[in-house]
């Protein structure tokens, strides 16, 4: 049996172990250890490589980015910034066709620029936006689908934890990845707005419980908002300042990604203190969650690094690249196959697991085909995010469904509500694939 065959069998074993419920990090370490032991016939070598990987895997200063951005996102969530952003967007956009849906996308776009976690966006706006949309006559399935669909902006608009993970695995600049995500993120947000307004215009029954009543309410003239321009400015100023501080410093080159995370976390702490939203219990909970989330991610990265060493020992990237070339695949054919594989895996695995399994194998092959790995990373993250909305796994959909906690709204209705947003994501993915300059223009 060749090394390539053994490597492929080990990858299949990894997928089976994850589907059986094994933690992805444990699975990666176990498969990596078995692979090195079998391929080299030396268990001591496997132990030494594991020791070396655990020692050096996350020693770089760059990895401080992860806890800093996680803490910033948790502090922002605790400060009710998402609620305030949605409230202002609602006042400004309520008279548009599908105005509250547009407001949800707008608020999620701003919120994504300081959190970087899709699940956080889904949980926050399910509590904030869905009740408000239902009160104004929107169908619950559409409201929940809008929140789930727009929540994926958290992983495309920087800072993004998925981009950090990809950058580490593919060994590319995380700062460049962040910058490359800006235009694709804006394209997604604009596409979501267009599809919401189009549905509200041509298929109002999908958007509203009673389309005629919604039309009459919108034409009834200006409504009392109960919010002055000064109050709107006061609600938006903290989040606007934080976005400008973090992203402005990052894009101008004044901050490294790690420094931007530190400045952002400190700015979020100031906002939380000024709003008096931090109790002793809440502060401890934020610290605890920061530690738990960060350690989980860093452990995953150590495991992925060990798994990558096994793949190198097996010669798997070069072997698969040879099979692809011998099979007559062009660069375009390889990219199409890769994207379809990512989307298919998204139906059964979570986003981080997909990156950890696939990127160490495919990034070297993509590099060999001449792809820019920054552009390749944007396509990868977008394809992975589609998986967050597709059944049966659909973690963003399940987050919305569980947060909503409404027995009358089955998870299948939320999945149906996300279909228009998945269509937009696929369209944007195709455009970015054919026009790489859109993701590389700002670098």
DSSP result, 120-163: HHHHHHHHHHHHHHHHTTB-HHHHHHHHHHHHTHHHHSSS-HHH
* 188: nearest Cα among 367, 402, 422: 422
Classify 208 as helix, strand or coil.
Answer: strand
**pLDDT for 361 beyond 90:** no
**pLDDT for 406 beyond 80:** no
User: pLDDT for 162-195, tens place per residue?
Assistant: 898 899 889 898 889 988 999 999 999 999 999 9
Give me the pLDDT at residue 393, please.
Answer: 65
User: pLDDT for 281-324, tens place per residue?
Assistant: 889 998 998 888 788 878 877 887 888 788 777 777 777 777 77
* 248: nearest Cα among 339, 372, 159, 143: 159
Beta bridge partners of 101: none
Size of the chain, expressed as the number of residues it contains:
443
Give me the pLDDT at residue 222, please.
Answer: 47
Beta bridge partners of 390: none
| Separation of alpha carbons 425 and 141, rounded Å | 19
| Separation of alpha carbons 255 and 258, rounded Å | 8
Domain count, the chain: 1
| Separation of alpha carbons 209 and 405, rounded Å | 20
**pLDDT for 59 beyond 80:** no
What integer best gives the mean pLDDT of the chain?
A: 83
User: pLDDT for 191-236, tens place per residue?
Assistant: 999 999 999 888 888 888 877 776 666 665 445 556 677 788 888 8
Give me the pLDDT at residue 304, please.
Answer: 79
Which residues constitute the domain of residue 266?
3-441
Give me the pLDDT at residue 10, please.
Answer: 84
Candidate ranges 14-18, 124-128, 365-369, 371-375; pick with highest mean pLDDT: 371-375
CA atoms within 13 A on the CB side of 9: 10
Q: Sign of torsion, CA 377 350 190 186?
A: negative
Q: Sign of torsion, CA 375 379 384 388?
A: positive
User: pLDDT for 83-95, tens place per residue?
Assistant: 777 778 777 776 7
């Amino acid at each position: 049996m060749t090394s390539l065959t053994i490597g492929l069998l080990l990858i299949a074993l990894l997928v089976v172990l994850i589907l059986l419920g094994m933690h992805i990090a444990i699975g990666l370490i176990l498969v990596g250890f078995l692979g090195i032991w079998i391929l080299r016939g030396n268990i001591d070598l496997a132990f030494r490589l594991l020791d070396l990987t655990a020692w050096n895997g996350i020693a770089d200063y760059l990895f401080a980015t992860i806890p800093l951005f996680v803490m910033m996102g948790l502090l922002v969530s605790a400060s009710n910034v998402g609620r305030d952003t949605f409230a202002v967007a609602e006042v400004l956009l309520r008279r548009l066709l599908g105005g509250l849906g547009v407001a949800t996308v707008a608020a999620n776009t701003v919120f994504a620029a300081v959190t970087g976690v899709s699940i956080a966006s889904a949980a926050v706006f399910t509590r904030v936006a869905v009740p408000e949309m239902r009160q104004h006559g929107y169908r619950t399935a559409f409201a929940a689908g809008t929140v789930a669909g727009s929540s994926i902006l958290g992983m495309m608009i920087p800072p993004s934890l998925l981009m950090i993970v990809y950058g580490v695995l593919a060994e590319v600049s995380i700062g460049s990845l962040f910058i490359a995500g800006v235009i694709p993120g804006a394209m997604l947000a604009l596409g979501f707005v267009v599809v919401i307004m189009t549905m509200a215009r041509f298929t109002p029954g999908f958007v509203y419980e009673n389309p005629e009543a919604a039309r009459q309410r919108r034409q009834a003239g200006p409504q009392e908002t109960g919010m002055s321009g000064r109050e709107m400015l006061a609600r938006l100023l903290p989040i606007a300042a934080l976005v400008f501080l973090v992203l402005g410093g990052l894009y101008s080159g004044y901050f490294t990604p790690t420094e931007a995370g530190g400045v952002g976390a400190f700015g979020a702490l100031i906002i939380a203190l000024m709003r008096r939203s931090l109790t002793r219990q809440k502060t401890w909970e934020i610290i605890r969650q920061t530690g738990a989330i960060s350690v989980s991610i860093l452990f995953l990265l150590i495991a992925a690094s060990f798994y990558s060493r096994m793949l190198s020992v097996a010669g798997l990237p070069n072997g698969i690249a040879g099979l692809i070339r011998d099979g007559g695949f062009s660069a375009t054919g390889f990219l199409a196959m890769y994207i379809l594989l990512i989307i298919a895996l998204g139906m059964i695995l979570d986003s981080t697991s997909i990156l950890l399994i696939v990127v160490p194998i495919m990034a070297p092959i993509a590099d060999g085909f001449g792809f820019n790995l920054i552009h390749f990373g944007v396509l990868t993250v977008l394809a992975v995010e589609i998986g967050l909305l597709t059944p049966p796994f659909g973690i963003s959909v399940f987050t919305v469904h569980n947060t909503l906690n409404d027995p009358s709204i089955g998870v299948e209705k939320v999945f149906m509500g996300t279909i228009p947003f998945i269509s937009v994501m696929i369209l944007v993915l195709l455009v970015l694939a054919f026009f790489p300059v859109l993701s590389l223009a700002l670098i």
